[in-house]
Chain A
Amino acid sequence: MSSDTLIDATWLDYLLVAIYFGFVLGIGVMARRSVSDSIDFFLSGRSLPAWVTGLAFISANLGAVEIMGMSANGAEIGLPTVHYFWVGAVPAMLFLGVVMMPFYYGSKVRSVPEFMFRRFGTGAHLVNAISFAVAQLLIAGVNLALLAGILHALLGWPIWIALVVAGAIVLSYITLGGLSAAIYNEVLQFFVIVASLLPLTLIGLNRVGGWDGLNDKITAAANGAPADAAVAPASQQLESWPGQALSGFDSGFFSVVGIVFGLGFVLSFGYWTTNFVEVQRAMASNSISAARKTPVIGSFPKMFIPFIVIVPGMVSAVLVQEMIDLKNGGSPEGGASGEGVAYNDALLLLMRDVLPNGLLGLAIAGLLAAFMAGMAANISAFNTVFSYDLWQRYIRKDHSDDYYLRIGRLATVAATIIAVFTAQIAMGYDNVMNYLQTLFGFFNAPLFATFILGMFWKRMTPTAAWMGLVLGTVSAVTVDRLAAAGVIDLPGQGAAFLAASTAFVVDFVISVVVSLVTKPKPASELKGLVYSETPREDRIDPEEASYPWYRRTVPLAGIALAMVIVLNAAF
């Protein structure tokens, strides 16, 4: 029986998984009953130490994207993947903390659709709410596909049964109140993931003969690969710049431009500054100063996460037989999807090959927790936007609270069922990172352009906002379809970067042009919504100046920036 499965787990591994879920559900149950006011205190997030909110902040996306996507990318293209962290996430998180957060906090906006409604009215709100809901369903599908992949790898079930069971698990997790103890979960999840991925990385490096051994093996593999496998040369896999393997451009110069503008500015700034699943974590703080420090503190651990997700992917590509075959252009049998090995399997296969039972269970617990919490967050965000922003505002107004709660429950179940189908789309991608970046290009890039313009330019009009959003998304989809049809030929994530950049530019230009010929809102309605109309005292924390330097936002952000520049130079 166990020989049919990808991973041989024993009772010991299941024990470790069970302990984790016992903890999480136990805290969830206690939180619902509020057996202690300490729990309420922690869940309210007020005056929690900054390291807790900082970890919760990065834990919120330390799921499918980070773990599977980054390791898949590490296996496929190697070290240039670090740009997602050192050009993408970290500068964007610092920007969020230093520039955007005071404004968000001061304006008391609590969600993206809410901002859109107050700033631009119905049109932009409707477009944004629909696109947000669709994006959540698609991303929930990614998490579900990865969750089902683990079930398949563990138990050997056919993939569609695994999908349905995984969906049922997530539904029961939401219903049992796993999310109500979210801040505990997020912090625990961070430690479990680090506790399993750090040994995995070290053992993996030990097996290939350390960092030098890894370099030698990647060089040998790249030189020995058949030409039609289109493996990037070793020099591109082992140096982060100029990163042609990531961007797909032949020219080093355009590659750097593509990475800095496409990935760094549009995708990452767009993702981190408009993704309220993350921003919400920071907004829960008790002062502007704490809200600003949350992403800045989160950026310190974030800087080092590439070492425990990308390096195992690179090790996997030269150590695991199936991955070696795949990279040489073969199509080995097996894999978590049951339809052949894909780069997404890099981490799971490495775990199978190097982790003893025990540590294996710890790693499985971490992965299951990450995907489950990730999908639960997507479904909950969908639920909120669907029930309150769409159903209540546009379809059935003025019903009782119970009515909307019922709608919310139906939406949760419906979203889970839909995710089983959107998971099929995700499974069609060999490297889930390509898919995710494509989605972010469709939804986040135009939103970021509209947001930035709307916040800093009071002349921008409601008509411009919704037209920019619609045409931005349409242009990104067009670029993606052209790339799929082979008209634009960019391997790696180049097509996604191009689609995102196009969406940003189109949205920006359309918004400016349309704004100039339509009527803006009066300035009196823009207080707290546009930078120049928000009083300065709403944006600063009077106590910040009295803190020692290591508790102030700007010096901390400066240190983080210096560290990330050193990391960029070193690799």
Chain B
Amino acid sequence: MSDTTGTSDSTGAPHKAGAFDIRNIIGLLMGVYGIILVLAGIFGDKALEKTGGVNANLWTGLGLIAVSAVFIGWARLRPIVVPESFDRPDDDPTRPAPQRKRPPAT
């Protein structure tokens, strides 16, 4: 994770979004869910009478692992480079919570 927090210097390599790339976050959550559901599908109660004979946990889990692989692979292949300077986030009046500064005065 050190490569995500370092600031790029004048000579430096491009600064990647890394672990905070939204695709990695999606991939991680879907992957964790996928693994848990696959395990539940193999070892847990399959509840076949509910699903009509399909091992729903197993198949959904496999699907989620595939989605996870696509997102993480995509993020690896085409990393997002964080530019040297960008606008710091403004308060969005429809989703403020912690106030960094006041919403735009009207």
Contact = CB atoms under 8 A, between A and B. Distances in A.
Interface string B46-73: 1100111110110110011001000000
A359 B54 contact: no
A184 B50 contact: no
A203 B105 CA distance: 51
Contact of A117 (B59, B92, B94, B106): B106
Contacts of B97: 28, 174-175, 177-180, 380
Interface stretch (A31-39, A151-159, A424-432, A451-459): A31-39
A403 B15 CA distance: 40
A114 B40 CA distance: 52
Contact of A38 (B18, B57, B99): B18
A46 B36 CA distance: 35
B29 A188 contact: yes
Interface in B82-105: 82-83, 86-90, 92-99, 102-105
Contact of B40 (A12, A32, A42, A405): A12
Interface in A146-180: 174-175, 177-180
Contacts of A48: 22
B88 A38 contact: no
Contacts, number: 182
A37 B82 contact: yes
A355 B56 contact: yes
Contact of A191 (B30, B95, B98): B30
A30 B5 CA distance: 12
Interface residues of B, number: 57
Contacts of A470: none
A356 B86 contact: no
Interface residues of A, number: 75
A19 B29 contact: yes
B44 A356 contact: yes
28 contacts: A32-B98, A41-B86, A42-B22, A46-B86, A46-B87, A48-B22, A114-B106, A174-B97, A187-B22, A191-B26, A192-B33, A195-B30, A195-B33, A203-B54, A207-B51, A277-B94, A355-B51, A356-B45, A358-B37, A358-B57, A376-B95, A377-B95, A380-B95, A380-B97, A381-B93, A384-B103, A388-B106, A404-B102
Given A12-B40, A40-B88, 13 more contacts: A16-B36, A38-B19, A41-B17, A114-B106, A179-B96, A203-B52, A280-B93, A280-B95, A356-B44, A359-B56, A377-B94, A384-B94, A401-B102
Interface of A: 12, 15-16, 19-20, 23, 27-28, 30, 32, 35-49, 52, 110-111, 113-114, 117-118, 174-175, 177-180, 182-184, 187-188, 191-192, 195, 199, 203, 206-207, 276-277, 280, 284, 353-359, 362, 376-377, 380-381, 383-384, 388-389, 393, 401, 404-405, 408
Interface of B: 4-5, 7, 15, 17-22, 25-26, 29-30, 32-33, 36-37, 40-41, 44-47, 50-54, 56-57, 59-60, 63-64, 67, 80, 82-83, 86-90, 92-99, 102-106
